């Protein structure tokens, strides 16, 4: 019978390393990988964390093999470090990954002592497990290697023998005997964090939001971390490897530290980055997303804006564009609904959900936006979506070129409609794109903003009504610029 019934018993602790009671310390780097937070798909190569675990080693003196089980399968084997103090030298280390579904538990015991029982209940072999594929390979105490295909049960030794994940087999040379404390450090994938913000619009004529900032912490590493001390890093370290643990990085930030209360992380500088150290230990079960406060909740002033941008994206042509049919002569489009507020402190990149309380008292989603790293006192702009009751249209009303005078005139009419019950002021954005030298020849409204490549107009639109904006541009150039 080939492994007809695999019964695994876990014996008492015998010379096996154990986790320290105070739990591991994890430094999590920011990742925006959807797989980490969605709970589906593979996230083994997404995210990056540096794990520091305390282990107790039972040293026999001289050269011996130790097995450290319960490690994540996503760790980087080239960056594992074991510090057991003076007199202990690591001669070799080997990462043993689970193989196969049926024998995954046995595969994690490679390098450990096992007892194999036959179908009659009698021992077949006892010794170091070398392989746990289609058959078992065991090195017995007398040095023989036995390959076993028909067996009934395998007894595993050690309190963590049944732990999930990978096993690190270490060959060490120790000048000491007895129990020794060691620190195991390794990078692992499947772990990451990002900021999660919620802004709830408050009642009243003024724009104010109740702002909540949290850190979303994902663990898809293949193992649990219990009682972990967490440090969250915002920044952009360079990662040279094309495979293995990798965060989906966002722009680095630099901002002064802020005081933390008893429930929020303590900020500090970490080289060129920022760190947020949680004040309490937390449990991070595998296949979970946990949230902890990043800042204390507060109320902030804000500004609402509605934007009609019929031709987004700046363009600087190499020569004046004299052809009449440059783009469509008539454009209709939607009006974007936006929110702006000022960062009260350093805001790491993440996602902002904006809510409004409906008539039934329920907070409903108005939109979600991506926020980049934002230093303190800088504006945060979020596009929430398109306004249901607002529409815009742009029509070219005139175009004329005078080549002899090196002059070109173009005029437009913007029509805005509002089917809603409240008046709105819509910001119209226009980008003169026929040539870099231009002037605003005329306009029915004074621009609210003007730069070398942008015009903005604030157009009041009444409830259940419409409004128009007429403006004209004049482009000029010098001799030879037509063919630059």
Q: Residue 410, class by beta-carbon neighbours within 10 Å (0-12 exposed, 13-18 middle, 19+ buried)?
A: buried
The DSSP element (H or E) to which 105 belongs, if any, is: helix 104-107
Q: Residue 49, class by beta-carbon neighbours within 10 Å (0-12 exposed, 13-18 middle, 19+ buried)?
A: buried
Which residue is associated with the tokens 């690591």?
90
The CATH classification number of 309-343+381-483 equals: 2.60.40
**DSSP readout, 341-404?**
EE-SS-B-SEEEEEEEE-TTS-EEEEEEEEE--B-TT-EEEEEEEEEEEEEEEEEEEEEEEETT
At residue 255, does pLDDT exceed 90?
no
Structure-block tokens of residue 476: 């000029």
What's the longest Cα–Cα distance across the chain?
A: 106
Which residues fall within 8 angstroms of residue 241, CB to CB, at 6 or more apart?
76
Alpha carbons 280 and 419: distance in angstroms, whole number: 52
Alpha carbons 367 and 365: distance in angstroms, whole number: 6
**Nearest alpha-carbon partner for 315 in 212, 431, 145, 452:** 431
At residue 77, does pLDDT exceed 90?
no
Instruction: Write down the domain spans for the chain.
Output: 309-343+381-483
Instruction: Give pLDDT, residue 245.
Output: 54
With a pLDDT cut of 90, the percent of the chain lying above it is 53
Alpha carbons 153 and 343: distance in angstroms, whole number: 62
- The tens digit of pLDDT for each residue in 275-294 reads 899 999 999 998 899 999 99
- The tens digit of pLDDT for each residue in 437-475 reads 999 999 999 999 999 999 999 999 999 999 999 999 999
The answer to whether the CB of 414 falls within 8 A of the CB of 469 is yes
More confident residue, 319 or 131: 319
- The tens digit of pLDDT for each residue in 336-346 reads 999 999 999 98
- The tens digit of pLDDT for each residue in 89-122 reads 999 988 877 654 446 567 666 777 888 998 888 8
Alpha carbons 391 and 90: distance in angstroms, whole number: 70
Least confident of 138-152, 185-199, 253-267: 253-267
């Amino acid at each position: 019978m080939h492994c007809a019934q695999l019964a695994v018993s876990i014996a008492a602790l015998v010379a096996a390393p154990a986790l320290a009671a105070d739990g591991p310390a994890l430094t999590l780097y920011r990742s925006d990988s959807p797989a980490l937070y969605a709970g589906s798909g593979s996230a083994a190569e997404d995210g990056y964390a540096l794990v520091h675990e305390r282990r107790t080693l039972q040293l026999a003196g001289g050269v011996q093999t130790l097995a450290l089980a319960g490690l994540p399968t996503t760790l980087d084997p080239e960056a594992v470090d074991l510090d057991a103090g003076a007199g202990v030298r690591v001669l070799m280390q080997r990462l043993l990954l689970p193989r196969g579904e049926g024998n995954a538990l046995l595969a994690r015991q490679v390098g450990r002592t096992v007892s194999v029982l036959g179908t009659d209940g009698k021992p077949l072999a006892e010794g170091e497990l070398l392989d746990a594929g289609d058959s078992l390979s065991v090195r017995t105490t007398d040095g023989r290697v036995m390959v076993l295909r028909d067996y009934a049960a395998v007894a595993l030794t050690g309190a963590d023998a049944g732990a999930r994940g990978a096993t690190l087999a270490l060959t060490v040379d120790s000048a000491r005997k007895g129990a020794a404390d060691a620190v195991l450090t390794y990078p692992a994938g499947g772990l990451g964090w990002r900021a999660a913000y919620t802004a709830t619009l408050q009642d009243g004529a003024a724009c104010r939001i109740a702002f909540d900032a949290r850190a979303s912490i994902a663990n898809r590493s293949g193992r649990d971390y219990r009682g972990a001390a967490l440090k969250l890093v915002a920044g952009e370290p360079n990662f040279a490897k094309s495979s293995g643990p990798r965060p989906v990085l966002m722009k680095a930030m630099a901002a002064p530290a802020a005081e933390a209360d008893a429930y929020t992380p303590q900020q500090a500088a970490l080289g060129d980055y920022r760190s947020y150290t949680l004040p309490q230990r937390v449990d991070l079960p595998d296949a979970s997303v946990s949230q902890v406060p990043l800042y204390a909740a507060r109320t902030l002033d804000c500004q609402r804006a509605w934007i009609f941008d019929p031709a987004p994206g700046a363009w600087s042509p190499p020569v004046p564009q004299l052809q009449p049919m440059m783009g469509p002569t008539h454009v209709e489009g939607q009006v974007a609904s936006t929110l702006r507020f000022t960062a009260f402190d350093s805001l790491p990149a993440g996602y902002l959900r904006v809510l409004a309380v409906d008539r039934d008292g329920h907070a409903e989603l108005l939109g979600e936006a991506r926020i980049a790293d934002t230093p303190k006192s800088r504006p945060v702009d979020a596009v929430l979506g398109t306004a249901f009751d607002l529409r815009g249209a742009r029509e070219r009303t005139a175009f004329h070129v005078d080549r002899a005078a090196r002059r070109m005139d173009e005029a437009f009419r913007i029509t805005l409609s509002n089917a809603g019950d409240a008046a709105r002021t819509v910001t119209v954005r226009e980008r003169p794109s026929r040539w870099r030298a231009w002037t605003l020849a005329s306009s029915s409204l004074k621009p609210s903003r003007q730069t070398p490549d942008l015009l903005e107009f604030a157009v009041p639109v009444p409830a259940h009504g419409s409004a128009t904006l007429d403006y004209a541009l004049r482009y000029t150039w010098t001799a030879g610029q037509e063919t630059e």
